[in-house]
Structure 1
């Protein structure tokens, strides 16, 4: 996740309003029951989709929660597994609000057809913003502080319902109920209007989270349909306020259930020299330009710098009016084809049911038994959140926009996007190697084709719609490829994968001196050393012994920033000297690190845990230090200087106890984290969701497995939350049908593993290999309230 120094200073220590928590608790209590009613599921045999509560994490809460990096930053709207379209409410354009929605906001701008999930850095997408309105036409949204001035509307919180592939809310300003559902490439809205002679659907074609699209086009196709496009360049802000280099065009084809009789566009006169980025777009003077936009009645087509489209009609009390739209990142023809393939009629409920069915099929990859309603809701919502990205960007005919800005045809794979590398290599992609190996294969192929089409000889570390955003650090794509390859996921161009991985580690590494100097010396040196290990694994597997030896040696570069005098990792200068050691030492945030302190980042030597332990003073000293690291962590696991579960650098750390000969401490702390850092509430995630990573950690840990070192096909065993977890396996990536973990005598008190059997045979290792899982079988654990300090010690 990403935050700024200003946010750190501004938000540290602010108090949480009780009203916020009270609402969060109410949502938690009602979540699973509500979605069950929406789907019509019986309480006796609920489907996995009925446990999903999309409101979990749907809050930025920079001011409300007192957390300077925000909370989950997820969106509550309708989508399908890894779908291109997400139809979701948007409450804000500016600020560090990646999903465009935050629960504590009391008004809604409209309902967009594209969203990002769980990210900071100001966000992107949020395109094609639709709003049902009545009365005089407004051409600007106005602000959270003054919703009455623009087209945004206050809404009744109690009316808000979010479930799998469904969202609805009552807009108080217009007395309109808005409902939405989705297919993979398209979405449908159902609006229930009051009696009004001037009802309307209006679409802000310029709107974009964190900025604006810089040019738009719309044309009327027939008396029920329009099509067009929205150009989104870095000049319009967006991802990283333009620094993320997001550069894409969204094409749309939309149809209305009522004929286009009284329609038009509004067009704001934005000066050629105007700043189009986030702060400008949300400023008073920019909003005034939008308010003064000219109206053009019934144009056949129109192009401009800030366009909106509207269609007016008369409605009776309770009349339902529908709108549906297909989205494409390739062409208007692609958008039309996407819509007409997926939505041949106006059957909202039928479309919704098909989307629910697709979610049940996807969520059935893992079946759990036992646990409380809260735990099942948290689990299946977490699994749901891992199935939003990396999303498809291929149209229904296989067309996708390549890194060369040309249309290509995907053959044998789905082109995918939003690879939040630094976050997801740790838990999200390893989870998918088990339950969705084909997706991992797609993602690798997508990055290979991007490197080839763009002319780069390296892989992006954070990719969004073909952009090499440069966000965060390390070489996470190399980790993903190595991890996939050693697990037998290889249906991509292996030689090109090797070529581009090698190009990546050559471009970004610790150099001849064996460390990276400067302000991020610790984080960069450790992350590059790990990526070099992954390169050595890949080179060795593909028969390149010299390269394997070179990168195995470079993987030890982490030792070059360990200061024996301080007994910890310390940033170095270009000339090899140590940077000044601060009074608080390794507890100082951002001292040689990114989004962490040296105490947190220093545990990141997954490729050589034994060597790290020796460097730090041996097993007992390290175990004592690590126990203190956890004991000093606040019970709620919010952002802190110790085990900071709210951010990724420490996500492997609870499992290090398995390598220290104390697996019962891994069991103790993972169960504690699962219980106290994840809840069925709006504030149920202690940090940014980060495109599936925060949730994937929970899914794996709650199932009783998690890797320390992706690239090594080993998973650490820990204490499962549930009594039975069945992982559905996928052929040809697995020879077995399923792998089941059974925890006998499991309870909130019985969290310690007493003994284990693997496929009926006694098992005394605190880990499993990927091969053990994919051939199918059963791991049976006997649980107890007191640690068995003799179990799990076999090497």
Structure 2
């Protein structure tokens, strides 16, 4: 029997524990920002879990590259308000598509070129989860994995492992098959999120290649179930790693005049037509209303078969060029490695130190989500489809699309102004040229693949344009930009009697008119500057002194009757909010708003109460509703009201309570980067209170150190650094500050400090210093 010395055993255990801790620390120290990305954050559309019909994050978990044209992602559903095509609670996968939207409501669109591997008899319809069987498959949740540029899952009905990766204009799928004599890759060319493509063409080019297109019009549903005026054609050029020997096309007989909106194509009658589609073995070229393509082959156990596809919105030749420029062979792992490298470079523009592992996951995933859109709409040769439906070519900017204006002017574009100014410049160019090419001569509120979708309200592109100009991002036709911005405010703006219909319209138009006045002033257009500055005060005309709040008027200028819920009545003159929530949106004149409300002290009490009544989870509610955009600038008002310690407190609370490293980690729709951009800026300790102004508010960062790399083409290419000494969940209050080593007592900083690469140091403590920053 071996007798061990207890002291020696204790020392051995201590040394072992130290060694384990050392190895863990080394492992953590070597983790890169890209390693913290969890694409499952927000990947649920569940209205039940959200507590509101708007649902949760609605992100997709599939593979993408920064601002890329292609996203290769699993799709679990076609119908309903499921803009990402995926929801984590679903148990089956329809297939893997090469285009996807991120975080949107209104039924969504894209989800084109759906590829599905299968074995056994060919099925031509997807079927429905929990209903009739089709080619969809259950998948093992335990095997589902996602990271930056990669996705995989085991399709249990077919015993096939599916993997996806992406390049900027193309993507690749790798399927590991079981041994089977009837294995298959099939492509549903009609499939589309929220509807169907209305016409398709497919052609066999050679023994490994197919090409074709899918037309997507409003008749086939899609964006807003067609109400968003989507009208685009997706072109593809696809190569398989296994030769085409036994292949064919299926074609569903869709009768003339049959409606094909979202509710129609998901109906039993329509699905029956698709399930009984004609199968045409050996067909080499076909055009129709509901087509699919398949290739069958025998596979060995664990044999890998791949399909790589170039996507273009210009032409089949463009899709071919895109593929050949980016994916030259079938080396899946090399493409995945390149996608990861692209993300690593993009994410390293912001480096955080300190915080918990959960907070780092949330932060870097949020940063990742802010770089999905506005996506590239240009082929590798610079060709793109313009607003006149003609093909244009330029090397002056990259045509970009998916501008969720009402959401993203608040945080998403202010963030990109700092870390990706070239993308902002591209988006401004794209919107301005679209206004010109389309003949509309005004800036669209919510642009989707050149469509003027008229989704949401206001003139958010004016804010984005002015904010960019004020920050030195000006590589666009400024005269044309001003002209179409002015046209926008004239077409959609406050009327001569100083109001629009409702609270939301009047207040938001007033802000956008303020933005235009700032640009007019910069361009020495004194008359316009004065006019729009005056119109920016229109919010005063709907302030009802009898209730001490904003109240909508009718077209004759009379107050509308108050509902029983009062200013908590959802939709009462307000868009996706109530009057209490919308009424805080006067970012360009907080002092005047405070005057209307009875002074700063009275305003502070009311604003703080607005936050205190918010539920712990910060899910959809009648007070500070972080799940939706109208309130997103409200936490920064405390700085302007002379109580910066309350901005410090509430921003940290929102970061803690509304964001988590989980599928349900976003309390509301991601909204094309807005929800995540808010977190990135807030967790860094700075956020604008009024986009269009160069003032950034300073408050309590989540992390001990934040380094932001600026762009050498638009700034000095230096790092702006925020250091929070003694920072913790308890020490959330700023005691004092230094800028470049000198005492600093302002609760805001100018944008020039960011681009100059200044260093801001904050001394943190457990109690508010009510004197710091209170200027």
User: Into which bin does the TM-score normalised by the smaller protein fall?
Assistant: over 0.9
Tell me if 1:131 matches 2:116: yes
Question: For the Cα contact (< 8 Å) 1:736–1:777, is it kept in 2?
Answer: no
Q: Kindly state the Cα deviation for residue 43 of structure 1 after the two structures are TM-superposed.
A: 3.8
Residue of structure 2 in register with 1:350 after alignment: 334
Question: For the Cα contact (< 8 Å) 2:732–2:765, is it kept in 1?
Answer: yes
Q: Kindly state the Cα deviation for residue 42 of structure 1 after the two structures are TM-superposed.
A: 4.8
Residue of structure 1 in register with 2:223 after alignment: 239
Question: For the Cα contact (< 8 Å) 1:79–1:184, is it kept in 2?
Answer: yes
Tell me if 1:161 matches 2:145: yes
| One of 752, 758, 762 as aligned partner of 1:777 | 758
Report matched runs for 1:376-415 at 5 Å: 376-415=360-399
Residue of structure 1 in register with 2:574 after alignment: 593
Q: Kindly state the Cα deviation for residue 66 of structure 1 after the two structures are TM-superposed.
A: 3.7
Distance 1:305 1:221 in 2: 21
Residue of structure 2 in register with 1:607 after alignment: 588
Residue of structure 2 in register with 1:7 after alignment: none
Give the stretch that moved more between structures: 577-586 or 318-327: 577-586
Count of matched residue positions in the alignment of Structure 1 and Structure 2? 751
| One of 492, 498, 506 as aligned partner of 1:508 | 492
Distance 1:78 1:52 in 2: 12
Report matched runs for 1:714-733 at 5 Å: 714-733=695-714
Residues 666, 557 of structure 1: alpha-carbon distance in 2 compared, 3 angstrom cutoff = same
Residue of structure 1 in register with 2:624 after alignment: 643
Distance 1:272 1:781 in 2: 68
| One of 383, 407, 426 as aligned partner of 1:423 | 407
Residue of structure 2 in register with 1:13 after alignment: none
Question: For the Cα contact (< 8 Å) 2:431–2:444, is it kept in 1?
Answer: yes
Residue of structure 2 in register with 1:734 after alignment: 715
Residue of structure 2 in register with 1:281 after alignment: 265
Question: For the Cα contact (< 8 Å) 2:590–2:641, is it kept in 1?
Answer: no
Distance 1:196 1:514 in 2: 72
Q: Kindly state the Cα deviation for residue 44 of structure 1 after the two structures are TM-superposed.
A: 3.2
Residue of structure 2 in register with 1:626 after alignment: 607
Tell me if 1:228 matches 2:212: yes
Q: Secondary structure at the match of 2:712?
A: coil
Distance 2:282 2:48 in 1: 44
Distance 1:160 1:347 in 2: 22
Residues 196, 162 of structure 1: alpha-carbon distance in 2 compared, 3 angstrom cutoff = same
Report matched runs for 1:86-485 at 5 Å: 86-146=71-131, 149-485=133-469
Distance 2:445 2:71 in 1: 24
Larger radius of gyration: 2
Question: For the Cα contact (< 8 Å) 1:394–1:410, is it kept in 2?
Answer: no
Residues 64, 622 of structure 1: alpha-carbon distance in 2 compared, 3 angstrom cutoff = closer
Question: For the Cα contact (< 8 Å) 2:197–2:214, is it kept in 1?
Answer: yes
Q: Kindly state the Cα deviation for residue 731 of structure 1 after the two structures are TM-superposed.
A: 1.7
Q: Secondary structure at the match of 1:100?
A: coil
Residue of structure 2 in register with 1:536 after alignment: 517
Residue of structure 1 in register with 2:683 after alignment: 702
Distance 2:140 2:152 in 1: 11
Could you tell me which runs of 5 or more consecutive residues in structure 1 were left unpaired when the two chains were aligned.
1-36
Distance 2:48 2:303 in 1: 39
Question: For the Cα contact (< 8 Å) 1:765–1:793, is it kept in 2?
Answer: yes
Q: What does the per-residue CA deviation read over 1:262-289, in whole Å, with 9 as the maximum and x for residues that have no partner?
A: 0001000111111110000000000000
Q: Kindly state the Cα deviation for residue 442 of structure 1 after the two structures are TM-superposed.
A: 0.5
Question: For the Cα contact (< 8 Å) 2:107–2:222, is it kept in 1?
Answer: yes
Residue of structure 2 in register with 1:747 after alignment: 728
Question: For the Cα contact (< 8 Å) 2:71–2:171, is it kept in 1?
Answer: yes
Distance 1:396 1:575 in 2: 54
Q: Secondary structure at the match of 1:546?
A: helix
Q: Kindly state the Cα deviation for residue 584 of structure 1 after the two structures are TM-superposed.
A: 2.1
Q: What does the per-residue CA deviation read over 1:652-682, in whole Å, with 9 as the maximum and x for residues that have no partner?
A: 0011100111100000000000011000000
Question: For the Cα contact (< 8 Å) 1:64–1:104, is it kept in 2?
Answer: no
Residue of structure 1 in register with 2:693 after alignment: 712
Q: Kindly state the Cα deviation for residue 350 of structure 1 after the two structures are TM-superposed.
A: 0.8
Q: Kindly state the Cα deviation for residue 581 of structure 1 after the two structures are TM-superposed.
A: 1.1
Residue of structure 1 in register with 2:547 after alignment: 566
Tell me if 1:487 matches 2:471: yes
Q: CA RMSD in A?
A: 1.0
TM-score by length of structure 2 reads: 0.96
Report matched runs for 1:24-103 at 5 Å: 42-103=27-88
Distance 2:28 2:97 in 1: 33
